[in-house]
Amino acid sequence: MLERGRLCDAAMGHGLAPTWQSGIWVLPIDHILTGGPLNVLDWQVHGDNLGSDHSPVMAILTWSPEVGAHHGKRVPAPAVRP
């Protein structure tokens, strides 16, 4: 999905942080996907309990038409379909 959609997981480069816990299972199952001119400045999982069994995932994004979301790598612009 990431490759086909030319998307990047905002957590890339920030390590693995679990977003869901149930008994012995502790998994990073919640994601923020970016693409095109969106760049990830910061990404983190907050341990605050907001009434869900999932931890909140937050990212700080910037918009830059020059560089894509792939952490500084230039990516081709998506083809425009009529």
Radius of gyration of the chain (CA): 15
Q: Which helix (H) or strand (E) holds 41?
A: strand 38-45
Structural domain that includes position 32: 7-63
Kindly report the pTM of this predicted structure.
0.63
Residues 14 and 44: beta-carbon distance below 8 Å: yes
Domain count, the chain: 1
Inside any domain, residue 15? yes
Percent over 70 (pLDDT), the chain? 79
Inside any domain, residue 68? no
Inside any domain, residue 80? no
Regarding beta strands 33-35 and 7-9, do their DSSP bridges make them parallel or antiparallel, or are they unpaired? antiparallel
Residues 40 and 8: beta-carbon distance below 8 Å: yes
pLDDT tens sequence across 47-78: 777 788 888 888 888 888 765 545 545 444 44
Evaluate if residue 7 carries a pLDDT over 80.
Answer: yes
Inside any domain, residue 73? no
- Residue given tokens 């869900």 in the structure block: 52
